[in-house]
Amino acid sequence: MSDLVQMGRRVLASQPFSVLLGAQLTRLEPGIAEIRIPLRPELKQQHGFAHGGVISYAADNALTFAGGSMLGNCLTAEFKISYVRPSVGSELIARAHTVHAGRNQATCRCDVFVLREGAEMLTATALGTITKVPPAEQ
């Protein structure tokens, strides 16, 4: 396992909300991140679909890990998400990649899939701006 993945897993484990959701960082390399979340009943809305907030969290965190792998310590400045279809399945998979990275910010894209009966189905797509945390605020 790479040093980058180990560092990313330590960061994820230090986020209480990520731990609550059961999020797992399964891939992290320069410009690329993947987060998986098992879909427990507590993470679903009244129709049995994954709650939009859980999908949004997955996209947001994957975007930030992808950008952070290029910039270092960073935060999401903004992101937009489009829900493509309801998420019915056993697991969410958020895959993000850096589209462009400058000195202080990166533009990243994330596709979120739901795993249903062994097949991945696109459920949402997001685009975000990730910004480096100034040293004085770290």
In the block, tokens 């975007």 appear at 63
Q: Domain spans of the chain?
A: 3-137
Name which of 49-53, 95-99, 134-138 the model is least confident about.
134-138
| pLDDT for res 135 | 77
103 in the Ramachandran plot: left (φ > 0), alpha (ψ -120 to 50) or beta?
alpha
In the block, tokens 């009943």 appear at 41
Q: Is the pLDDT of residue 138 over 80?
A: no
| pLDDT for res 137 | 63
**Under 8 Å CB-to-CB from 95, ≥6 apart: which residues?**
27, 32, 33, 34, 62, 110, 111, 112, 113
Residue 2 pLDDT grade (very low, low, confident, very high; cuts 50, 70, 90): confident
* pTM for this prediction: 0.94
How far apart are the C-alpha atoms of 125 and 34, rounded to whole Å?
A: 14
| pLDDT for res 53 | 97
| CATH no. for 3-137 | 3.10.129.10
Burial 113-138 (b: 16+ CB within 10 A, else e): bbbeeeeeeebbebbbebbbeeeeee
Task: Report pLDDT digits (tens) over 48-88.
Answer: 999 999 999 999 999 999 999 999 999 999 999 999 999 99
